[in-house]
Amino acid sequence: MNQQLIQRAAEDILRSKKTIAFTGAGISVESGIPDFRSAEGLWQKYDPEEYAHIHAFYSDPDKVWLMLKDMFTLVMTAKPNPAHIGLAELERMGLLSSVITQNVDGLHQAAGSRNVIEFHGSHRTLSCLKCSTTTDGTSLKIEDLPARCPRCSSLLKPDVVFFGEPIPPKAQAYSFKESKSCRAVLVIGTSAIVYPAASIPIMAKEEGATVIEINMESTPLTGQISDYLISGSAGKIIPAIVEEVRRQR
């Protein structure tokens, strides 16, 4: 871990009037939920292009539910890791305005973050594409899946944003507002290739914010949009930043 960059990030957070975090699947890898790039796991079995597109759900919902059931099983048992917990601590310290996440696993909320914007929706509710009925998914058990519409018995779709679907308008508007008004953004565990999500750090940069990237590898943002990349695992780097913030404060 690069201690100099940890110190720099802590200084940037303490200096910034408003800091936000923008997170992707990488922050939940240490909680046991694979990202799209992992060499093993869910996405080796199910090609996201084939299973995570809205057309796939329309044409063969039974097939897509095979993937969804595996995803639900992972999400139901996953626990927040030190990266999620560190962000919740920064918020409690009054140093983090919001977490904008592309994840649908609810782990930021489970860690105690309060102001979480779910850019790609969540598993907590499910909707019927035929009759528009929406139901609560929080009390569902694995045995209840695939879930059917209580009104018309069609297969329900979790309210997560599939490829080809629009971003929930309120989440998008609020995220863009946060990114344009922040002075620093922590970009954690995202490959930054899925748009419009990836425009969040770009907008922040255009408004003069400091962009701090935390990732195992470089991304299209690295060296272009991000001011610096702290290479390594989020579960180690975020707690180290929080500790350094405490030390400097």
Active site residues per annotation = 120
Q: Is 134 in the site for Zn ion (CB under 5 A)?
A: no
- CA-CA distance, 243 to 10, in Å (whole number)? 9
Residue 140's Cβ-side half-sphere holds a number of Cα atoms within 13 Å equal to: 23
Nearer Cβ to ligand NAD, position 19 or 22? Answer: 22
Q: Which two tokens stand for residue 4?
A: 């100099």
- CA-CA distance, 71 to 158, in Å (whole number)? 11
Binding mask 111-130 toward Zn ion (x if CB under 5 A, else -) reads -----------------x-x
Nearer Cβ to ligand NAD, position 96 or 149? Answer: 96
- Total residues belonging to the chain: 249
Shortest Cβ contact with ligand NAD: which residue? 26
Binding to ligand NAD (CB under 6 A): which residues in 14-53?
24-26, 28-30, 33, 35-37
3-class secondary-structure state, position 127: strand
Candidates 233, 240, 241, 245: give the one binding ligand NAD (CB under 6 A): 233
Q: Is 189 in the site for ligand NAD (CB under 6 A)?
A: yes
Query: Of ligand NAD, Zn ion, none, which one does residue 151 interact with (CB within 5 to 8 Å by kind)?
Result: Zn ion
Quick one: which of 133, 105, 109, 136 has its CA closest to 120?
105
Residue 106's Cβ-side half-sphere holds a number of Cα atoms within 13 Å equal to: 17
Q: Position of tokens 């695992």?
A: 233
Q: Is 147 in the site for Zn ion (CB under 5 A)?
A: no
Quote the least distance from Cβ 66 to ligand NAD, whole Å: 16
Residue 25's Cβ-side half-sphere holds a number of Cα atoms within 13 Å equal to: 16
3-class secondary-structure state, position 122: strand
Strand order in the sheet with 228-231: 116-118, 98-101, 19-23, 184-188, 210-215, 228-231
Nearer Cβ to ligand NAD, position 13 or 107? Answer: 107
Q: Is 12 in the site for ligand NAD (CB under 6 A)?
A: no
Q: Is 86 in the site for ligand NAD (CB under 6 A)?
A: no
Binding-site ranges for ligand NAD (CB under 6 A): 24-26, 28-30, 33, 35-37, 102-105, 120, 189-191, 194, 214-217, 219, 233-235
Binding-site ranges for Zn ion (CB under 5 A): 128, 130-131, 133, 149, 151-152, 154
